[in-house]
Structure 1
Amino acid sequence: MQALEFRSATAADLPFLVALRHATMSEHLARVNAARDDASQLARVLVRFEHARIVSVNGQDVGLLKAYREPGQWYIAQIQIAPQFQGQGLGRAIIENVLDQARRDGLPTALKVLTGNPARRLYEALGFRETSQEDAEHLMVCPPRQERVSATG
C-alpha cells in the first residue's frame, strides 16, 4: 500500500469535504432518515474542524480523519475515504495509526457508527466492540492494543 500523508484541513478544503461526505454518507443517512442537504453536511464537517486532517496518497486527496485525545480515551469522530479509494486498505491503515497512538498512551479508542454502515465490519475486525446505542448510532470501543510484533523482529 502507498504511504498515507496527513495535513490539517483548511477552509479551502470545504468543497472537497462536503462532496466527500455526500459520496460516503448519503446512503447511510437516508437509511436512518437523517438530513442529507449541503447545509447539514457542511455543519457536520465543521464539528471539531480543528481536528480535521485531509488524507492524501501520492499527493491526491482521498479522505478525511478527525481523531483526537479526550480525557481517558482517543476518539475517532469521522473517517471517510472517497468511494474510488475504498477497499484498498486505507481505512484500516488510518485507524491502525490512531490505535497505535492510543496504545502508546495506554488508552482505549472510541467511535460511533450508524446502523447498517458496512464499515462496522472493519471496526470489529480491528477490535472495536459495541458498548451502547442511541437511536441509530452505535458507540464502539477498542481497548488499548498490545504492541504489534513485526514479521522481521
Structure 2
Amino acid sequence: MTITRDWRVRPAAAADVEAVAELRALVLRPDLERLGRYDGRRVRQRLRDGFDPAHTWVIEVGGAFAGCVALRPAEDAHWLEHFYLAPGHQGDGIGSGVLRALLERCDRAGAVVRLNVLRGSAARRLYERHGFTAETEDPVDVFMVRRPHRPSLPHPAPPRRTGRT
C-alpha cells in the first residue's frame, strides 16, 4: 500500500455536482452491475437530486479532484453519504484519513453516524475498521451505525511506595 499524503478536503460548491455524479457512476458501477441494478442515467440523477454542497466536501489529491464525502445532519444521527474516491486513489490511505477526521469530529459532538453501503461492496470493510456495525440489510443495501467513541482517559498512576508498610 502506498500512502499518499498530498491530499486535502475543501467545501463543495454547486459547480462540483457533475464531477461528483460522474465519479459516483464510475465507482458504483461494478457493485451495481453485480447486483443487477446499474442504470447510468439513474445513478447520476440520484446524486444530482441529493447533492447538498453545504454538507459536502471535495477531496483533492495534488490539487486535482479525487473524490467527495458528505455528512448530513439528521434528527437522531449524522448520515455519511456520497463517499467516493477515484479508483486510482483507493487503497492508499486517503479514504481512511478522510473518514477518521470526520468521525473524530462526530465523536467530539457525541453524534451517532449512520450510512448505507451496497451489499458485497469492499467499502464495508473500511467502515467496519472504523467502528461501524451492520444494523439491517435488504437485498441491495447494508445499513450501518457507529456510536460515538469517547477518548480513552489515561490510567491513574499507581500509588507511589513510600517505604513504609
TM over 0.5: yes
- Match for 1:40: what amino acid? R
Give the aligned partner of residue 59 of structure 1.
Answer: 63
Match of 1:18 among 15, 18, 21: 21
Alignment of 1:8 with 2:15, yes or no, is no
1:60/1:148 CA distance change after superposition, 3 Å: farther
Q: Which secondary structure does the structure 1 equivalent of 2:70 belong to?
A: strand
- TM-score for both structures, normalised by structure 1: 0.86
Contact 2:17–2:51 (8 Å) recurs in 1: no
- For residues 104 and 48 of structure 2, the distance between their equivalents in structure 1, rounded to whole angstroms, comes to 26
8 Å CA contact 2:80–2:115 kept in 1: the answer is: yes
2:30 is paired with a residue whose SS is helix
Q: Which residue of 2 aligns with 1:141?
A: 145
Query: Deviations along 1:13-67, whole A, 9 cap, x unmatched?
Result: 3332232122211001111111332x21221212331133221123111001121
Q: Secondary structure at the match of 1:47?
A: helix
Match of 2:76 in 1: 72
Matches within 5 A, 1:1-153: 1-11=5-15, 13-37=16-40, 39-50=41-52, 51-147=55-151
Instruction: Note the residue ranges of structure 1 that are not aligned, 5 or more in a row.
Output: none
The answer to whether the 8 Å contact 1:73/1:102 transfers is no
Q: Secondary structure at the match of 1:61?
A: strand
TM-score by length of 2: 0.81
| Structure 2: 5+ residue stretches without partners | 154-165
* Greater radius of gyration (CA): 2
CA RMSD of the aligned region, Å?
1.8
After TM superposition, give the deviation of residue 80 of structure 1 in Å. Answer: 0.3
Q: Give the Cα–Cα distance (whole angstroms) in 2 for the partners of residues 99 and 47 of structure 1.
A: 25
What is the distance in 1 between the residues matched to 2:68 and 2:110?
A: 25
**Local SS of the residue matching 2:100:** helix
Further displaced range: 52-61 or 117-126: 52-61
SS of 1:88's equivalent? coil
Higher strand share: 1
